[in-house]
Amino acid sequence: MSAPFLNVYYKRAVATPRACYICNKPTTIVLSTQPVLDFIYTCDTHLSDPGFATLQAPAVSPTPSASTEEIAKIKAEWEAKQKKKQEQAEKEKKDEGDKKDEKKDEEKEKAVSSPKPNSPAPVAGGSTTPKHDKYVLHRQFYTMRLTEHRRRRQQKEVDALAPKLSGAGLSVPKQMG
């Protein structure tokens, strides 16, 4: 059977201090898996201890982010396409000049409202996801966490199953005689 979660924990800071898993001192640092199936409150001193956890080197992203020059080039191409579309729409308007004044008014309203979508959406410059330190627990601590997780899961199963069982065998019948 495979493990319910990997031995990869992310360091996060929390607002409320809780007891450290090792020394029971208050700490605001928590190691949690992704998705959050398991979490451990731990001190900074224990994180530097190789007998508890080791810091993993950050992974190099395989795809580099787009440079500002590439973004400007793509933006210029997009604006050129939008201009071309607008010119075609204006040609169609001239061809349909024989129609009613109401339709002309509607087309003018469309022409006035169309430049609004043509403006590119603002690009969030510094919106990068926060990078959390990645840790791998020592195999014995990881085994302890797996055992505790398994015990909690089994207890939930027992609690869910207990009401369905009959009460036979729970009370000892009185002997006659």
Where along the chain do its domains lie?
A: 9-58+132-160, 68-118
Query: pLDDT-based confidence at 103, cuts 50/70/90?
Result: low
Burial of 76 (0-12, 13-18, 19+ CB in 10 A): exposed
What would the mean pLDDT of 92-120 be, rounded to a whole number? 59
> Residue 72's pLDDT is what?
86
CB 133 within 8 A of CB 12: no
Nearest to 92 by CA among 115, 111, 67, 71: 111
If one compares 66 and 98, the residue with the highest pLDDT of the two is 66
